[in-house]
Amino acid sequence: MSQPAIQLKANARLTSTNPARGYEVLGNVEISTEIEVKSKIKDAHKAQKAWHKIGLDQRVKHLRSLHTHLTKHKDEFVKRQSLEMGMPKTLSNSILEGFLADLVWNCDNAKNCLSNKTLFEDDSEVNELVYEPYGVIACIAAWNFPFGNFIQSTSQALLAGNAIVMKYSEEIPLFSKYLEETISLSNFPEGVINFVYGDAQVGSILADQDIDFLTFTGSSETGQKLYQKAASKLIPIALELGGSSPAIVFEDCSIDDALIENLFWKRFLNSAQFCDGMKRLIVHNSLLEEVSEKLAIYAKTKLIGDPLDEKTELGPLVAERQIIKLEEQIKDALDKGARLHCGGRRPESLNGAFYEPTILTNITKNMRVWSEEVFGPALPIIGFNTYEEAIELANDTEYGLSGSVFTNDKALARRVLLDLKAGSLQHGNAHFYRSQNPFGGYKKSGIGRQKGEAGFDEITQIKVIAWEK
Ligand code: NAD
């Protein structure tokens, strides 16, 4: 179903700007026309057949050598993530290493996850389960973890024998171009991984093409639109969407430096621009003032600045539009009676999309910082008295991506992890985000899973073949 009203001008360009240096222009990239999008889809269909035919062992080999090739260019990817979307360099480096490790895990485990399995056998017949690729997958992705979005949306799909046409967010065209060029300089088979460039319009055109599966990472609002497109074609879709993840702090916790540091970074890493970041903090009323004040004191010690400077702890947001939305959400909270412990403003000495980490209490459920996803450095903190109240507050969201609990009582922690309605949950210093663990959301946080064995299941069709002996 194409949209005839959309006409993309030939030679139109996406301009990339630096959010840490007054939006100075970094470069631009040509927007793909509808004809170019169609041509990439055609190339992908052609290449996919051969890619499937070479078999799993060969595909694993290709992905391993792509890993080696991407690793050689790691420093440039790190730099480009920092330049274009503002991720501090040290974080950019460690995040990249984490995603490269995911790629290795996927290669190491593809055979186990995707090999045929005998389901039934007797004297006269054998029934076997066979994993097959869907065909061509359109991947439409966000901007907040550029390298990670690529590994997470494509690597398992490629290993399974699918071909990819990827469109990144319009916020990071230069990163996308560099990734495309780097892959083209490797010996990866041509036409299997393809890129197109543009904003929502190009994303919409891509989703309308002859594709067999759609993978989307981005906001729940866009996810809903794409779900409708997939429904009209009756193709499967995997949706990795927004979140408003809660963390609960019980009264037996001591509010020491380690806990404050843990809570702070659960919220403010990457300037609070990550889907499964802690977005609402629920603290026992006896600790509410202490936690809020200690977090505010800690926040004021963090160095905000140029992401390319290795000392920088908090970079800018990706773009001015993110700041504007954040300011509206914070203003709404303050107008409705929220108390500001720190932040609530742009730092005066910096020119770009910078915003100070902001801590808010006196939160009520009618405030946007409570009911909406806040994709920037603000943390609403609310108090509770009883277990039931804490769980009710934590689950009081349209989203269900993740959640955390802090208590020394292990039985209580386990009860909370089981009572929270979300895809990934953690207690204290434990981490759910690992290569082998599936990742995805409940409710408006998504449909389907990426990573781990469940990620392979998501992007393969299963076929049963029964034959006589
Ligand atoms: P977004 O929905 O605005 O855009 C995401 C992508 O979709 C971009 O490439 C954009 O060009 C494209 N797009 C927008 N409208 C479209 C349309 N109508 N048709 C086709 N394509 C369209 O989201 P964003 O602001 O780029 O990213 C931030 C959001 O992504 C947050 O909500 C965040 O929580 C979420 N996110 C989720 C995960 C996850 O794994 N669950 C990971 C990263 C980000």
Domain architecture of the chain: domains with CATH: 13-241+445-468 (3.40.605.10), 245-434 (3.40.309.10)
Ligand 1 mutation pick, 154, 217, 329, max ligand atoms within 8 A of CB: 217
Nearest to 295 by CA among 271, 321, 259: 259
Over residues 71-118, the pLDDT tens digits come to 999 999 999 999 999 999 999 999 999 999 999 999 999 999 999 999
Residue 243 CA: nearest ligand 1 atom is 34
pLDDT tens-digit series, residues 381-400: 999 999 999 999 999 999 99
pLDDT at 4: 38
The answer to whether 240 is a known catalytic residue is yes
The CA distance from 27 to 328, in Å, is: 30
Both structure tokens of 124:
């006269």
Task: Report the distance separating Cα 55 and Cα 59, nearest Å.
Answer: 6
Residue nearest to atom 40 of ligand 1 (CA): 240
User: 353, 323 in Cβ contact below 8 A?
Assistant: yes
Average pLDDT value for residue range 118-145: 97
Give mean pLDDT, residues 122-131.
Answer: 97
441 neighbors 400 (Cβ within 8 angstroms): yes
Residues 433-439 have a mean pLDDT of 97
Per-residue pLDDT reduced to its tens digit, 268-296: 999 999 999 999 999 999 999 999 999 99
| Rounded (10°) CA dihedral 286, 269, 265, 449 | 80
pLDDT of residue 11: 75
* 70: Cβ contacts below 8 Å, ≥ 6 apart: 77, 100, 103, 182
Size of the chain in residues: 469
User: Which of 31, 87, 140, 326 has most ligand 1 atoms within 8 Å of CB, for mutation?
Assistant: 140
> What backbone phi and psi angles, to 5 degrees, belong to 92?
-55, -40
pLDDT of residue 83: 95
- What integer pLDDT is reported at residue 219 of this predicted model? 98
Instruction: At 362, list the tokens.
Output: 């006196």
Least confidently predicted of 3-12, 192-201, 258-267, 355-364: 3-12
Which DSSP letter does residue 170 get?
A: T
Closest CA to 352 of 315, 379, 382, 389: 315
User: Can you give the pLDDT at residue 1?
Assistant: 36
pLDDT in the model for residue 8: 59
| Best CA proximity match to 443, nearest among 458, 417, 423, 425 | 423
Spatial neighbors of 89 by CB under 8 A, at least 6 apart, are 78, 79, 82, 307, 308, 309, 310, 312
Q: Which residues pair with 195 in a beta bridge?
A: 166
Give the 3-state secondary structure of residue 250: coil
Q: Which residue, among 375, 323, 320, has the nearest Cα to 345 in the 3D structure?
A: 323
The Cα 3–Cα 294 span in angstroms is: 53
Q: Is 373 in the pocket of ligand 1 (CB under 6 A)?
A: yes
- Between the two ends of the chain, the Cα-to-Cα distance in Å is 46
For 428, residues 6+ apart whose C-beta sits below 8 A from its C-beta are: 405, 406, 407, 413
Residue whose token pair is 């889809």 = 41
Phi, psi of 440 (to 5 degrees): 170, 175
Position 380: which residue type?
A: P
Cα 413 to middle of ligand 1, angstroms = 32
DSSP letter string, 397-412: SSEESEEEEE-S-HHH
Q: With contact defined as beta carbons under 8 Å apart, do 203 and 34 qualify? A: no
Q: Determine the pLDDT at residue 146.
A: 96
Average pLDDT over residues 199-220: 98
pTM of the prediction? 0.95
**Residue having the nearest C-alpha atom to atom 3 of ligand 1:** 219
Chain mean pLDDT for the chain = 96
Is residue 59 lining ligand 1, measured as CB closer than 6 Å?
Answer: no
- Report whether pLDDT(5) > 50: no
Residue 185 pLDDT > 90, yes or no? yes
> Among the options 34, 240, 313, 372, which is catalytic?
240
Check pocket membership of 203 for ligand 1, CB cut-off 6 A.
yes
Instruction: Please report which confidence band the pLDDT of residue 356 belongs to, taking 50, 70 and 90 as the band edges.
Output: very high
Helices 89-114, 56-72: axis angle to 10 degrees equals 170
Over residues 213-248, the pLDDT tens digits come to 999 999 999 999 999 999 999 999 999 999 999 999
Q: pLDDT digit string (tens) for 450-462?
A: 999 999 999 999 9
CB atoms near residue 58 (< 10 Å): 12
Q: Stretch 24-45: mean pLDDT, rounded?
A: 97
